[in-house]
Amino acid sequence: MRTRVKICGNKTIEDVNHAVVYGADAVGFITDVPVKSSRKIDCETAKDLIEQVPVFVDSVLVIMPEDLDSAMTLIAETQPTCVQIHNDLPDNELAIISKTFEVRLIKTITVPEDASHRIADHIVSRIDSLTGIADAILLDTSTGARSGGTGKVHDWGISAEIVQRSKLPVILAGGLTPDNVYDAVREVHPFAVDTASGVETDGKRDHDKVRLFITRCGEAGR
């Protein structure tokens, strides 16, 4: 099965258009997150960009809401096709989001950069608890106090084991670049891969890297 690609951290319509033209399956928008990030945009900008995402390409609202009401407001105002919850909301609140909106729900789960394989059991158990609530999970790398969005790679052996045991589709993130995405796909066999900082140069979106990332991901599935 072809590995799908999500290009995240889009800030302009040019970012979106280049990702779509090069074959991205999904484009992500990091919206109103309470952390320092050069890729975050406000709700109004996200709404405007999401409205311009063409049919057959998913728009992913990436949020870290402080509570259920904040999440519901952001989703209602932006109307994405998918929402990625990048922090810890209670499962009952995730279920409310899933039932209230016609969106697919992606839940981020982090793998510490220095984790051992023992963590796979814990993560698989967490995925089991999300079955029937989330539509997919995204594995990102955590380092110290940062829970994802670090641009760091974790042990793909752990991710590969999780993919084999998961009841939900797994999206692999964490330090993926045009230089390593081929190997990541071949080793992990995820449903999809996700990148943001990996397709930047000097902190700015590099459209040549976007093209190369998507191309090499496709080559890995042949």
Q: Point out the residues that are catalytic.
A: 8, 140
Report d(CA 27, CA 180) in Å as an integer. 20
CA 57 vs CA 27, 53, 82, 101, 159: distances in Å: 7, 7, 11, 18, 26
Q: How far apart are CA 122 and CA 162, in angstroms?
A: 10
Question: What are the φ/ψ torsions at residue 186 (nearest 5 degrees)?
Answer: -65, -35
Residues 6+ apart with CB under 8 A from 49: 10, 12, 13, 16, 29, 41, 59
